[in-house]
């Protein structure tokens, strides 16, 4: 059966369009598969980077916890050692009576000589016992400052251990 010329032309045109469409569809699938491979590689790289970052943070947190535990242990040791040591009395010496500015100027020898001579005279005229037990007791404050220094030292040691481990 012979197909008329126009119909034959339309049929061949449709077959050609189908062939071009099929080629475009296959080409599109090919390009998508290449793009998907690139995206898969990029995704895999991002996942690996995030896994490494998470592992680093977990390790860093473990080291920070170890440093904190070390610090808490050292504080407990300091508290136990502190409980065994009684607070001793530490007295300040009784110093000379303060010299007023008017008394220093009234000494013989002029205002320049008053700065040294006046003080010596005032100190010499003081009848208090400098080494008596009347001075203020600074023992508790002194021990508190020493305890604070020990705590700061323990904290610095723990922080240094954490930084060295990074």
Q: What is the 3-state secondary structure (H, E, C) of 83-124?
A: HHCCCCCCECCCCCCCCCHHHHHCCCCHHHHHHHHHHHHHHH
- Give the mean model confidence (pLDDT) for residues 22-38: 87
| 155, 63 contact by CB (below 8 A) | no
- What does the block give as tokens for 110? 């002029």
Between 139 and 135, the higher pLDDT residue: 139
pLDDT in tens, 137-153: 888 999 999 999 999 99
- What does the block give as tokens for 148? 């604070």
DSSP labels, 6-35: HHHHHHHHHHHHHHHHHHHHHHHHHHHHHH
- In this predicted structure, what is the pLDDT of residue 135? 74
Between 66 and 103, the higher pLDDT residue: 66
């Amino acid at each position: 059966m012979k197909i008329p010329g126009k119909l034959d032309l339309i049929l061949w045109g449709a077959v050609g369009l189908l062939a071009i469409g099929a080629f475009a569809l296959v080409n599109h699938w090919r390009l998508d598969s290449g793009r998907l491979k690139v995206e898969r590689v990029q995704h895999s790289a991002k996942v690996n980077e995030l896994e490494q970052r998470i592992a680093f943070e977990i390790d860093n947190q473990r080291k920070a916890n170890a440093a904190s535990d070390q610090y808490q242990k050292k504080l407990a040791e300091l508290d136990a050692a502190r409980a065994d040591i009684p607070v001793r009395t530490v007295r300040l010496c009784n110093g000379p009576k303060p010299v007023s500015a008017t008394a220093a100027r009234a000494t013989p020898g002029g205002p320049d000589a008053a700065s040294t001579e006046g003080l010596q005279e005032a100190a010499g005229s003081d009848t208090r016992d400098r080494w008596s037990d009347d001075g203020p007791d600074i023992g508790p404050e002194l021990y508190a400052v020493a305890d604070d220094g020990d705590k700061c030292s323990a904290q610095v040691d723990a922080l240094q251990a954490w930084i060295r481990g990074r």
